[in-house]
Amino acid sequence: MLFKDKVCWVTGASSGIGEALAYRLAREGAQLIISSNQPVELEQVASRCLKHTSFCNAIAFDLNNPDEVSRVAKETVEKFGPIYLLINNGGISQRALAHETPLELDRKIMEIDFFSYIILTKAVLPGMLSAGEGFIAATSSISGKFGFPLRSAYAAAKHAIQGYFETLRLELQPHNISVTIAYPGRVRTNISLSAIEKDGKAYGKMDPGQATGIPVERCAEEYIRAIKKRKPEKLIGGKELLMVHIKRLFPSLFFRVIKNVKPT
């Protein structure tokens, strides 16, 4: 019960991994702040969380709007005080070839999946440094370990998460602030449904690999356990995680295999 009565903030909490993380923290008795850009669904998650904890505040805002993210982050810290745990989890995926993706969509994906994480992290860090404790987590993907077709900007954002938060972990170790990066593989969520195509519209389909992925509850359980153990990173998923190890140990074999893996 490490997070009991502690202020814990989860973004992307209206569905998928973020929703499961919120329920897990609620059962620990955390003082929850949950965010997403889906206010109706977010309030529904908050009401379920309140069955297990005494406090859950829902804040709807758009991670694609840096000014709004900065304003909400500042107001949240001022209102609730030091954040003990921040889980940067909100995001959007992609289903489009790199040469067909307009630059504005590349920027949108980077804004949501990477820069919003930095804005929120910078907002909570002063309170953590002052308190001399804290936990920061960032949700990457196995696409943050290797590139994959139809996900050029998404993979770029997830690779950027690794570079930034690994550096941050090293810088914050003397201050008793832990940083964990989670790398989910195939998890049974609706992420492919809302992934954007080259025209900016939602892909609207469930990828077969996604549909047969691990339960989102298992992902949340492993994610929270890794945070508690102050692990620098955690791979979460099934047999698809083998690709990460194959690339690291046998890069030539990896590039022969990966081209035969269906991207949807």
> Is residue 154 a contact partner of residue 145, using CB atoms and an 8 Å limit?
no
What is the length of the chain? 264
Parallel/antiparallel/unpaired status of strands 134-139 and 177-184: parallel
Helices (H), the chain: 16-27, 39-49, 66-80, 103-110, 116-131, 152-172, 191-194, 208-211, 216-228, 242-249, 251-258
Phi/psi at 190 (5° precision): -95, 20
- The one catalytic residue in 23, 84, 117, 154 is 154
Active site residue 164: no
Residues with a catalytic annotation lie at: 154
